[in-house]
Chain A
């Protein structure tokens, strides 16, 4: 099966998922992102790499952080940016996704940044678009959120450069999380030897160990001696029902408190893709504590997204 994200000569054509991405391309993205970190600190926060290009942010599902950071990233690259919240416009009039894409292509969009509630939406769009157009998956259902996975890997690499020597724990709702899937693929591809997932059985997919992770149900056991703790957001609708009894019980069993954090290595870092539920998956003392790198994640997110966009544009 051909990898739909690569060109015939193996260059990045679309960014749809980290799974199947060669390690060299992941490294290229992270290295390029390094060079963009400084741009934000300049007086003129712009580089001309995407001048004359039109980037279309197509959000079929709501988002604030991802949408904004993509918008800033595209603008810092000097692209023209349009952001469409499709959930509130054409879709409600019954237009199909592909019709929306065709219309925007007719307006000469060069790059689509797509978020959709269904797994596989970005793949479908990538299969449909004209050859000169690039698609970036900004989150599709439970499947993938590759730029988040990359920015998390980037953040870890900045704080813990020896990735082949790390123990990383991902905690929370793995079942419904596209972030977790992308993090797992990014870390295993970059050679992190031990990736753990910590969750109750109701929030883990069947056969999750086939993704190359170690499964823990007891958080205290799972956090022992880890270098990195990646917390996941618990969606409101999952806090009570058949999967979990209550947010209070969840906090008790899987919430990250200073006391549980103490089980990890003393210099462990704490990450969260946001938006956080304080007091549900993470205690404020940890979120705002000195081991937290949650805000740097957001900052690096812009550099990583700039890197992805500039590499794609360079492969046109």
Chain B
């Protein structure tokens, strides 16, 4: 299959391209950018006039809910949602049921994902058995099975000795440890940012110190053990400052933020909207601005969707009892575009945070449009608005704090390995 994408505006941060250029694809690879190779005859021509052509997005956190939570979402529904959102590679956290702590499970997940032939799936293995925070997993075996890193998902390790050992062990083999910084005792039973809104609504707060204390321990242990660490879902201004300072001293560390936290604050909880019950919690306006600034100055490396499909029933509880999380795969691109526009960030830089940078963190060959790379491509209309509503989402999770909002940025084509896996009007 040979495809010619013509007349599109190409944005490829890695290769410094931000202009109108054609793209030529054959045998699943990009074979030329700009000029047509000699004798190239396309089987299909995609006219991308007025559209933007970018590398397929790389999402650092998408819960696919398989195995174990098929009533919330299935691999198939979520992979469809991913490509509908222009995402061609994604990392999934290990908090499935059973937990991704055995090579067999990881192999099965990889195999099932491959059969669907949609986005590439990169599982994160559990750092500890059952995520129990006590015994470390068979990290070498899990890596062989396809894990690209090790994570505790939302179950922070309480015992710092275990955390130390886990990071030492991972460091032995050069594996990356993915941790969402949260001191579990301070965050215990908390459901909202410990600020004015929580005070008014009578919700148990999660203080900023819960994040900063955890970052302090993680940074220190990473330094002592030499472990490669990726910090997931920063949420506080103070947390951003700490990472900025650590990077200044030359510490090798990466981190991400969820698209939700770049747009929302605890005020969006309104009158107990359970769709705004997220983990980490939505924080203050000041935190939101600091996250944005951190992303602009490179302290924060990547934006992810933090896709967490939740079934309707699990949201039909009072705020604190409702399950945390929001659907995100199909909102990632429009939310990045909106963030860029709101903060006057150029599109090139914004796109980097969801293509080149996350690919680098994952250590995968993706997120760029270099010649000879896999033809994983997203083509979107930056001016087409669409309304966020249940019927507009392919994900089985319809839970979103953005419901009702109209956002610009509609994915028209998604290609994975040179195949068109999604197309829309």
Interface residues of A (CB under 8 A from B): 1, 4, 19, 96-98, 116, 118-121, 123-124, 140-144, 178, 181, 205-208, 210-211
How far apart are the CA atoms of A123 and B313 in the complex, in Å?
17
Interchain nearest-CB distance for A94 vs B (Å): 12
Q: Which residues of A contact B207 (CB under 8 A)?
A: 206
- Jot down 17 A-B pairs with beta carbons below 8 A, ordered by A: A96-B316, A96-B317, A118-B319, A119-B201, A119-B319, A120-B318, A120-B320, A121-B318, A124-B274, A140-B318, A141-B203, A142-B202, A178-B202, A181-B200, A205-B199, A206-B207, A210-B199
Cβ contact within 8 Å between B200 and A19: yes
Partner of B196, one of A116, A141, A207: A207
Q: Which residues of B contact A206 (CB under 8 A)?
A: 194-196, 198-199, 205, 207
Q: Which residues of B contact A121 (CB under 8 A)?
A: 318
Residue B321 is within 8 A (CB to CB) of chain A in the complex: yes
Cβ contact within 8 Å between B202 and A144: yes
How far apart are the CA atoms of A136 and B320 in the complex, in Å?
20
Q: Which of A1, A96, A124, A140 has the most CB of B within 10 A?
A: A124
Cβ contact within 8 Å between A124 and B272: yes
Q: Which of A116, A121, A207 has the most CB of B within 10 A?
A: A207
How far apart are the CA atoms of A205 and B207 in the complex, in Å?
11
Interchain nearest-CB distance for B285 vs A (Å): 13
Residue B173 is within 8 A (CB to CB) of chain A in the complex: no
Cβ contact within 8 Å between B318 and A205: no
Cβ contact within 8 Å between B271 and A208: no
How far apart are the CA atoms of A211 and B272 in the complex, in Å?
18
Question: What 1/0 mask marks residues of chain B from 184 to 210 whose CB sits below 8 Å from any chain A CB?
Answer: 000000000011101111111101000
Cβ contact within 8 Å between A123 and B202: no
Residue B16 is within 8 A (CB to CB) of chain A in the complex: no
Given contact pairs A98-B316, A124-B318, A210-B196, A205 touches B271 in the complex (Cβ within 8 A): no
How far apart are the CA atoms of A65 and B57 in the complex, in Å?
59
Cβ contact within 8 Å between A143 and B199: no
Interchain nearest-CB distance for B375 vs A (Å): 46
> What residue in chain A is nearest B192 (Cβ atoms)?
A119
Q: Which residues of B contact A143 (CB under 8 A)?
A: 201-203
Q: Which residues of B contact A119 (CB under 8 A)?
A: 201-203, 272, 318-320
Interface residues of B (CB under 8 A from A): 194-196, 198-205, 207, 270-272, 274, 313, 316-321
Q: Which residues of B contact A210 (CB under 8 A)?
A: 196, 199-200
Q: Which residues of B contact A208 (CB under 8 A)?
A: 199
Cβ contact within 8 Å between A141 and B318: yes
How far apart are the CA atoms of A46 and B173 in the complex, in Å?
80
Q: Which residues of A contact B202 (CB under 8 A)?
A: 119, 140-144, 178, 181
Given contact pairs A205-B205, A206-B205, A120 touches B199 in the complex (Cβ within 8 A): no
How far apart are the CA atoms of A206 and B284 in the complex, in Å?
13
Cβ contact within 8 Å between A120 and B319: yes
Q: For chains A and B in complex, what number of residue pairs have CB atoms within 8 angstroms?
A: 74
How far apart are the CA atoms of A206 and B195 in the complex, in Å?
6
> What residue in chain B is nearest A208 (Cβ atoms)?
B199
> What residue in chain B is nearest A145 (Cβ atoms)?
B202
How far apart are the CA atoms of A251 and B180 in the complex, in Å?
42
How far apart are the CA atoms of A4 and B106 in the complex, in Å?
47
Interchain nearest-CB distance for A124 vs B (Å): 6
Cβ contact within 8 Å between B272 and A123: yes
> What residue in chain B is nearest A19 (Cβ atoms)?
B200
> What residue in chain A is nearest B204 (Cβ atoms)?
A142
Cβ contact within 8 Å between B318 and A116: yes
Partner of B195, one of A116, A120, A207: A207
Cβ contact within 8 Å between A141 and B199: no
Interchain nearest-CB distance for A99 vs B (Å): 9
Cβ contact within 8 Å between A118 and B318: yes
Interchain nearest-CB distance for A273 vs B (Å): 15
Given contact pairs A19-B200, A207-B196, A208-B199, A1 touches B320 in the complex (Cβ within 8 A): no
Supply 13 further A-B pairs (C-beta < 8 A) apart from A119-B272, A120-B319, A142-B202.
A97-B318, A118-B319, A119-B201, A119-B319, A123-B272, A124-B272, A124-B319, A144-B202, A181-B202, A205-B205, A206-B195, A206-B198, A206-B207
> What residue in chain B is nearest A20 (Cβ atoms)?
B271
Cβ contact within 8 Å between A118 and B320: yes
Partner of A207, one of B199, B201, B274, B313: B199
How far apart are the CA atoms of A19 and B272 in the complex, in Å?
14
How far apart are the CA atoms of A19 and B207 in the complex, in Å?
24
How far apart are the CA atoms of A282 and B326 in the complex, in Å?
46
How far apart are the CA atoms of A120 and B205 in the complex, in Å?
15
> What residue in chain A is nearest B313 (Cβ atoms)?
A96
Given contact pairs A118-B320, A120-B319, A124-B318, A211 touches B199 in the complex (Cβ within 8 A): yes
How far apart are the CA atoms of A121 and B199 in the complex, in Å?
16
How far apart are the CA atoms of A32 and B313 in the complex, in Å?
40
How far apart are the CA atoms of A211 and B201 in the complex, in Å?
11
How far apart are the CA atoms of A211 and B196 in the complex, in Å?
8
Interchain nearest-CB distance for A144 vs B (Å): 7
Q: Which residues of A contact B317 (CB under 8 A)?
A: 96-97, 118, 124
Cβ contact within 8 Å between B320 and A141: yes
Instruction: List the 10 closest A-B pairs by CB distance, nearest first.
Output: A142-B202, A120-B272, A143-B202, A118-B318, A205-B199, A119-B202, A120-B319, A121-B318, A210-B196, A207-B196
Q: Which of A19, A97, A141, A208 has the most CB of B within 10 A?
A: A141
How far apart are the CA atoms of A1 and B316 in the complex, in Å?
20
Q: Which residues of A contact B196 (CB under 8 A)?
A: 206-207, 210
Interchain nearest-CB distance for A137 vs B (Å): 11
Q: Which of A19, A96, A120, A124 has the most CB of B within 10 A?
A: A120
> What residue in chain A is nearest B268 (Cβ atoms)?
A1
How far apart are the CA atoms of A178 and B274 in the complex, in Å?
20
Q: Which residues of A contact B200 (CB under 8 A)?
A: 19, 181, 210-211
Q: Which residues of B contact A144 (CB under 8 A)?
A: 202
Interchain nearest-CB distance for A181 vs B (Å): 6
> What residue in chain B is nearest A1 (Cβ atoms)?
B270
How far apart are the CA atoms of A64 and B284 in the complex, in Å?
39
Q: Which of A98, A144, A206 has the most CB of B within 10 A?
A: A206
Q: Which residues of A contact B321 (CB under 8 A)?
A: 118
> What residue in chain A is nearest B208 (Cβ atoms)?
A206
Interchain nearest-CB distance for A215 vs B (Å): 12
How far apart are the CA atoms of A206 and B210 in the complex, in Å?
14
Interchain nearest-CB distance for B283 vs A (Å): 12
Q: Which residues of A contact B320 (CB under 8 A)?
A: 118-120, 141
Interchain nearest-CB distance for B320 vs A (Å): 5
Q: Which residues of A contact B272 (CB under 8 A)?
A: 119-120, 123-124
How far apart are the CA atoms of A82 and B383 in the complex, in Å?
57
Interchain nearest-CB distance for A136 vs B (Å): 16
Q: Which residues of A contact B316 (CB under 8 A)?
A: 96, 98, 124
